[in-house]
Chain A
């Protein structure tokens, strides 16, 4: 990685990365990817988030889904429903699924990721986040 030498460079970098991260809000044409995030804080991991992550990766590769990106993130705050997984289909509001296990992973991939079909166990988002 090259060092960032000025605030200008940092700002450029931000614009470059922004499109990647904010794709679910912006619906970037370049990357019509479905994003799946697994809450991987200590609490999530203790509740089995690592297994869920692995199951997701396995399932996505087994089904040869090339429009899905899986990544980790921190605690979403829904401790009562760990492990939690957030799926963002481009152009749609992110959906959070709670108490996800291997079975549920299959269901999420099968129904929501592949067909956009909602399923039981959605955790309604109950907060707003500050943003620019």
Chain B
């Protein structure tokens, strides 16, 4: 079909572009023309390969040759050697760091093993509104297997053996949870799917429900069989209309196929699912609050015990799992616990979906085996920091996670490591910060979120988060004292120690995880009234450089508050007391004589 015999793919991602990959394209085209091959070889600019550390990247098809760190001047040798003579350019090939062996075919590169899609296996692959496509991808086979070949006990055993831990944030072993609910005898039990995804920037649950709703439906039925429940409830935020629509559709077609309802697959097992809508309160992701909300009460948590497994929805044993957790269940049953537990680290098995956001090139949803390092996620998969800036920190675990820094980059990601580093897995949000981000401001941003989302039940969270954000505001406005920094630490520790639920207990993490590492930055705000990252508007100062100012008066004319004075053709001065830091002079000056500090 194609008239081209070969394709040259040149990475056009932000990282590679900044290392002059456009020049590579031009050069290759130029040499092709010189060799009269412009009609045989097509040169294309692609999206990011996600391997920015080794960029710019050039890939040759159809032989899958993967060249790294290509310079514009390498275009000649690529054309002359590879494209003309068919000989690979050894020195540009990617070398595995451990073996130092050159890899010729990119399919054999470790890099492509970094992402592994288990929970997202069908997302972006099947039509979520078509149950047939799900069935074609082994859908409902796991449910069939459980119902016909396994007892509830062996299902629970398999899930326990797999080592699957809750993906919603807590990381509690899923099998154990199921076992508790299984052991509590009652006339009615419930399976609840927590789809109240609330972390800003995290959207894996929504993506799963939108891309593969049947995996959740199937898993809930399996869970129902395991714990002895015939009723499932999905608690989903009303702000997810598409997910709701797809889920509704999935439930409907599963019912039509008899995969939900009475006597599923002729086994006598009944199970059906109802959707409950939440109003999007962050705290309703906490399971007791979620249950109160489903019952029509105020969405606020209660002390555990009693756990939902003993007394949950309407006081009945209830098992609550998150969407991503459920999405793993069918695969575990089909491929076996041993397969699943072979992925990941000692105590965290399987994969985890992360939502990459912030100052990172490849913003998006990724899924990696547990144990992948932050460096791999941020620099290999995420494509590194935007605009070639310096990495400063990554916030994991959503608004109540902690900030991890350079020194933590090689930590394998799993539940326990993140916790030990003062952060957490959370639901898998990852927000990357660069050198322009001011850490006290970052902490303030997150505290404002938890302050808003606190249900207001317990004192440490209701009043404590408010006080934390007040103190942080003071600091970012340059009005903080050294005593405030001390209070920040003590208060954070107390909130962590005394708050009623996970929201409050983790709310101070953004402070606790930055105040030690970035102590100097905090102190600079307090003692020098200076924001080293230049982000705190209240602390910014505009100054006119004497040696550059020619006295054109443009700045003094544009200043809305008359803060700039100076005679024509002589150096102007900004009155700092009058300056409102609007930046108009900075934008106006043609001589770069005005600096912002």
Contact = CB atoms under 8 A, between A and B. Distances in A.
Interface of A: 1, 3-7, 9-11, 13-14, 17-18, 20-22, 37, 39-43, 45, 71-81, 86, 89, 98-99, 115-124, 126-132
B256 A1 contact: yes
A43 B201 CA distance: 12
B500 interface: no
Contacts of B552: none
Contact of A120 (B44, B259, B367): B44
Contact of A41 (B111, B114, B135, B207): B207
A116 B203 CA distance: 35
B112 A128 contact: yes
Nearest to B206: A42
Given A7-B148, A73-B126, A130 B210 contact: no
Interface stretch (B177-185, B356-364, B405-413, B531-539): B356-364
B117 A127 contact: yes
Interface stretch (B137-145, B289-297, B314-322, B589-597): B137-145
12 contacts: A7-B144, A42-B243, A71-B127, A72-B129, A73-B126, A77-B207, A81-B47, A120-B44, A121-B45, A126-B114, A127-B116, A129-B117
B365 interface: yes
* Contact residues on B (Cβ < 8 Å of other chain), bracket: 35 or more
Nearest to A99: B47
Interface string B228-241: 00000000000010
B133 interface: yes
A132 B257 CA distance: 23
Contact of B46 (A11, A117, A124, A132): A124
Given A4-B257, A42-B240, A126-B49, A74 B128 contact: yes
Given A77-B366, A126-B112, A42 B210 contact: yes
Given A75-B207, A120-B46, A123-B46, 18 more contacts: A17-B135, A18-B136, A20-B133, A21-B132, A22-B136, A41-B123, A41-B242, A71-B130, A73-B123, A73-B126, A74-B124, A78-B364, A117-B2, A122-B47, A123-B47, A124-B48, A129-B125, A130-B116
Given A20-B136, A117-B3, A132-B138, A75 B210 contact: yes
Contacts of B3: 115, 117
B160 interface: no
A5 B261 CA distance: 12
Given A5-B265, A74-B211, A128-B112, A80 B361 contact: yes
Contacts of B257: 1, 3-4
Task: Give the 8 A-B residue pairs with the shortest CB-CB distance, closest first.
Answer: A74-B211, A127-B115, A3-B258, A116-B1, A76-B124, A17-B136, A7-B144, A77-B365
Nearest to B57: A124
Contact of A126 (B50, B129, B138): B50
A3 B256 contact: yes
B165 interface: no
A7 B133 contact: no
Contact of B133 (A21, A40, A80): A21
Nearest to A114: B1
Contact of B258 (A5, A45, A131): A5
A115 B1 contact: yes
Contacts of B437: none
Contacts of B4: 117-118
Contacts of A74: 122-126, 128, 207-208, 210-212
B364 A77 contact: yes
Nearest to A132: B138
B116 A10 contact: no
B412 to A, nearest CB: 19
B42 interface: yes
Contacts of A7: 141, 144-145, 147-148, 265
A101 to B, nearest CB: 15
Given A73-B127, A74-B211, A128-B115, A45 B242 contact: yes
Contacts of B128: 72-74
A128 B206 CA distance: 21
A126 B115 contact: yes
Interface in B274-298: none
Contacts of B456: none
A78 B129 contact: no
Nearest to A20: B136
Nearest to A123: B47
Nearest to B257: A4
Given A115-B1, A128-B113, A122 B9 contact: yes
A120 B3 CA distance: 16
A79 B204 CA distance: 12
B59 interface: yes
B331 interface: yes
A79 B354 CA distance: 12
A122 B10 CA distance: 10
B387 to A, nearest CB: 14
A124 B208 CA distance: 22
A87 to B, nearest CB: 13
Contacts of A39: 124
Contacts of A89: 1
B258 A120 contact: no
A80 to B, nearest CB: 4
B42 A117 contact: yes
Most buried by A among B115, B207, B366: B207
Contacts of A45: 242
A64 B362 CA distance: 37
B467 interface: no
Interface in B193-227: 203, 206-208, 210-212
Contacts of A42: 203, 206, 210, 240, 242-243
Contacts of B265: 4-7, 9-10
Nearest to B130: A71
Contacts of A75: 123-124, 207, 210-211, 365
Contact of B266 (A6, A117, A118): A6
A86 B127 CA distance: 13
B266 A73 contact: no
Interface in B494-544: none
A73 B211 contact: yes
B245 to A, nearest CB: 11
A3 B130 CA distance: 16
Contacts of B45: 120-121
A68 B164 CA distance: 41
